[in-house]
Structure 1
Amino acid sequence: MNYQIIIKRIDTVNEVEGYWSDEDLIQLLDKFNYPDGATAEKKNLPELLEMAISDYEPSEAAEIVLTYKLSEELNEGQIQQISHNMLIDKVCEEYPEIHMQGRLFHTNQLLFKAYNGKFPNAKASVVHFSMTPEKEDIEKVLTKENVLKLLNNGLTDRNLIKRLFDDQMTQNISFPEADGIIWELNTDDNVNYTLITSENWINNEDLISSEFESTLEEIVEEV
């Protein structure tokens, strides 16, 4: 099916508002030995957590937050290693398990704010765009995989996704990594969308056109 794509804008942000819920902040406060988070005013929770975190050594704080977010997928040794590496490198952009990069970004930026820049400053991209099918009477709910494939024609060949996943972007084969590359995909009408990803994956310099056409083919499942 053919689509008309319009990239409205790409916003570069230091954090994704609303990612950390009040319950997340209360639980993290408890882990940083501030037990009164549940009775604190909700608007004060982020500031209280920043103060609680700053009482710890940076790598120790990173280990606590990483354990909270990733302990089901990483063992203690892996978490300790990442907590030290985070002070030197943008682990959230380099970690080989792509499906973890989003959570590593949110963890990194929480620590970046708490320590006034002791951690590298990673950035995210919020892409606002529309994807209108040529046959308007056909409504398809696009997946993250669909969206990345449709964006291909508007991205420069220097784009990291295209360089690493050229076959998946250009051929009608499955692209499971798309679920990790795009952290959030939102739409109210299946035409106008917002996606959130790392600036490392998509940024303003990656665009070669803000309006273009793309064809979405049905994925051929391997047998």
Structure 2
Amino acid sequence: MNYQIIIKSANTVDQIEEYWTNDDYIKLLEKFDYPDASDADVASLRELLFMAISDFEPKDAAVIVLEYKLSEDLNEGQIQQISNDMFLDKVCEEYPEIGLHSTLFHVNQLLFKAYNGKFPNAKAIIIECSMTPSEGESQTLLTKENVLKLLSNGLSDSTLIKRLFDHAMNENAPFPEAEDILWDLSTSDNVNYTLTTSEYWLNKEDIIASEFEGVLEESVSVE
């Protein structure tokens, strides 16, 4: 199926504001020994958390936040190792398990802001685009895999996604990694989409066209 793709905007951000909830802030405040966190003014929870975090050594704070978010995915040794590595590298870009990149980004940026830059500053990108099927074709909900494949013609060949997953991006081959590469994908009408991913995978300079055509073929598994 043929699509007309229009990139409406691409914005680099250093946090996804809606990721951390007030409930997260309260639970983290309790872990950082802040008394009566549930009674605190909602509007000040984030700043109170930053103040509470700053009373701890950065590595110890990293362990607490990592355990809060990833204790079901990582063991104690892995969390200790990541808490050490976070000072030197953008672990949220380099960790071998792509499925953890999103959460590691949010943890990293919370600590980056709490400690005024003692942790590396990672970036994400939010892209708003429209993907309109050819005349006569029905509008169907696109998956993360569909969206990445349709974006291919508008991206530079040097884009990391295209370099690492060239076959999946440009052929009718399965692309399961797309589920983790795109952190979020939303639409209200199956035409206009908002997608979020790491600048590691895709940055503004990778987008070489604002309007282009894409072809979506049904993925065929190779036995």
Report how far residue 137 of structure 1 moved: 4.9
Report how far residue 203 of structure 1 moved: 1.1
The 5 A counterparts of 1:30-49 are: 30-49=30-49
1:175 partnered with 2:172: no
Partner residue in 1 for 2:205? 205
Report how far residue 9 of structure 1 moved: 1.4
Match of 1:154, as an amino acid? G
Structure 1: 4+ residue segments shifted above 2 A:
none
Partner residue in 1 for 2:62? 62
Partner residue in 2 for 1:4? 4
Find the aligned partners of 1:101 and 1:143 in 2 and give their Cα distance.
19
Secondary structure of the corresponding residue to residue 120 of structure 1: coil
Partner residue in 2 for 1:77? 77
Secondary structure of the corresponding residue to residue 135 of structure 1: coil
Report how far residue 42 of structure 1 moved: 1.1
Secondary structure of the corresponding residue to residue 45 of structure 2: helix
Match of 2:142, as an amino acid? L
Instruction: Structure 1: state its 5+ residue gaps.
Output: none
CA contact (8 A) 2:11 2:126 kept: yes
Moved more, 107-116 or 171-180: 171-180
Could you report, residue by residue, the CA deviation over 1:19-56 in whole angstroms, capped at 9, with x for unpaired residues?
00111111111111113221111111100111111111
Find the aligned partners of 2:2 and 2:107 in 1 and give their Cα distance.
39
Q: How many residues of Structure 1 are paired with residues of Structure 2 in the alignment?
A: 223
1:18 partnered with 2:42: no
Could you report, residue by residue, the CA deviation over 1:106-144 in whole angstroms, capped at 9, with x for unpaired residues?
000000000000000001101111100113550210011
Partner residue in 2 for 1:216? 216
Find the aligned partners of 2:134 and 2:41 in 1 and give their Cα distance.
50
Partner residue in 1 for 2:95? 95
The 5 A counterparts of 1:153-168 are: 153-168=153-168
Instruction: Structure 2: state its 5+ residue gaps.
Output: none
Find the aligned partners of 2:204 and 2:27 in 1 and give their Cα distance.
36
| Cα distance change on mapping 1:221 and 1:135 into 2, 3 Å | farther
Could you report, residue by residue, the CA deviation over 1:145-169 in whole angstroms, capped at 9, with x for unpaired residues?
1100100000001100001111110
Find the aligned partners of 1:38 and 1:168 in 2 and give their Cα distance.
47
Partner residue in 1 for 2:144? 144
Find the aligned partners of 1:160 and 1:9 in 2 and give their Cα distance.
20
TM-score, normalised by the number of residues in structure 2: 0.97
Could you report, residue by residue, the CA deviation over 1:175-222 in whole angstroms, capped at 9, with x for unpaired residues?
111111111111111111111111111111101111100000011134
CA contact (8 A) 2:88 2:120 kept: yes
CA contact (8 A) 2:3 2:133 kept: yes
Over the aligned positions, Cα root-mean-square deviation in angstroms equals 1.0
